[in-house]
Amino acid sequence: MNKAAENIAPFRVGEWLPSDHAILETWMETLIRESEAEKKPLHPVIEDFKALIENDPEIFMLFNLMFEQVPKKPPYNKDPTGKPQVRDYRHMLQLVNAIMTKAPAFNKTGLVGFPINAIFDWSMGTTGGFAAFLNAKVNAQLKEILNEWSRFLGSPDSRYVLSKDPHSGWFGEDARKAMPDFDKEFQCDPSQPHHGFKSWDDFFIREFRPGVRPIASPEDDAVIVNACESAPYKIAHHVKRHDRFWIKSQPYSLEHMLANDSFTDRFVDGTIYQAFLSALSYHRWHSPVSGRVIKAYVRDGSYYSEALSEGFDPAGPNDSQGYITEVATRAMIFIEADNPDIGLMCIMTVGMAEVSTCQITVYEGQHVKKGDQIGMFHFGGSTHCLIFGPHVKLDFDLHGQKPSLDSSNIPVNSRIATVVGK
């Protein structure tokens, strides 16, 4: 971390949520107070969610159980004022309703970049929550909610946080300390209101200025580059077709990751590299290799499911990153690399929590060069995997660090591996 950002509060992995749960509780207290003061009628999409919960007996049971199963002891039971954080599903709906017209403000004491995840914070770690957030009907309705929120984040009304307010504005004094090189690195116009961004989403998917992230060895097809501005999480070799992805070690299970895709056989016993993205960074994807796009699509999945093996995981999906590659909404882009020593490989980009859209910007049959843009995440946490067949021998270069939840960002388009010839 740069010295200018040292006074920023510590965050959970990827900086989407504060690492100090007291900060999250304080944020929740403010949201509860504001939602109770505003007393907004439920948005139609929230009314639909309420109807789903109350009219489906299984879902009704699960959404009651998930709050009953949260331990009635600290830190789970109270907020800093001594009141329950989220009391029941009706209270939950009221709080999600309040989020629908809010964009994430900057806060140096703890960025809450997963606001809906924060509302579900303890309940999704229960057995009731685990079952509820894997339910197909629930996830279909959550998708509608997130799409509706995405429309707000894509509108000019969301720009109110793109201000120079010293504490809550994304171009204010506190934010400048966390992102001191923003104007130099990203395409923007500081002379214009909101730095020229049309919406919160426009700010979130901002692009680097030309030359800021040069492509490593652009003419050497043996060099594989980082597909996202991301920190190494895990490298796995000899990956199985089926594995127990829900257990503590969260091994990869290819059949489930690739959603029974016909290409699954090509990757059994191969290698997977996974890395996670930062909230304050860059959210577009770039091709790690040169080659032809064979297949590209988005697979719908869960939004708030986390591994039960993590228990009451205050970090939400962060500590469940291996697990969510099998169950979360994800985009898959299969590329036949120009380098025959690589052959077919897959880039899988995974939405964590309130990811509204995994947007693919390439098409089947298109030839891409290493470093070309291939897609982007619209607001939400995110992780990604590069999947290689068993014949590919890789020498990884993780810039002096080991894969872990404590690793640091490697710039997009930087070398992360070299193919070792047969």
Higher-confidence position of 193 and 255: 193
DSSP type of residue 96: H
pLDDT at 314: 43
> What are the tens digits of pLDDT across the range 202-252?
999 999 999 999 999 999 999 999 999 999 988 999 998 887 544 445 678
Closest CA to 97 of 115, 71, 75, 114: 115
Maximum average pLDDT range among 9-13, 116-120, 326-330, 400-404: 400-404
| Contact yes or no for 115/24 (Cβ under 8 A) | no
pTM of the model: 0.83
pLDDT at 7 over 50: no
| Contact yes or no for 215/224 (Cβ under 8 A) | no
| Contact yes or no for 201/378 (Cβ under 8 A) | yes
320: its two tokens: 């469940």
pLDDT at 332: 93
pLDDT (average), residues 44-50: 96
Closest CA to 367 of 340, 323, 344, 335: 335
124: its two tokens: 């999704």
Maximum average pLDDT range among 15-29, 259-273, 324-338: 259-273
pLDDT at 340 over 80: yes
Q: Spell out the CATH class of 223-419.
A: mainly beta
Higher-confidence position of 76 and 374: 374
pLDDT at 303: 61
Q: What angle do CA 110, 378, 218 make, to 5 degrees?
A: 105
Percent of the chain whose predicted confidence (pLDDT) is above 90? 47
pLDDT at 411: 95
In order of 62, 105, 112, 169, 349, the CA distances from 165 in angstroms are: 42, 10, 17, 4, 34
pLDDT at 311 over 80: no
Phi (first) and psi of residue 116, to 5 degrees: -75, -40
Higher-confidence position of 64 and 125: 64
pLDDT at 10: 34
145-161 in b/e form (b: 16+ CB < 10 A) is: bbeebbebbbeeebbeb
pLDDT at 353: 58
Q: What is the DSSP string of 338-407?
A: SSTTT-EEEEEEEEESS---EEE---TT-EE-TT-EEEEE-SSEEEEEEEE-TT--EEE--TT--SSTT-
- Residue positions counted in the chain: 422
Q: What are the sequence ranges of the domains in the chain? A: 3-157, 223-419
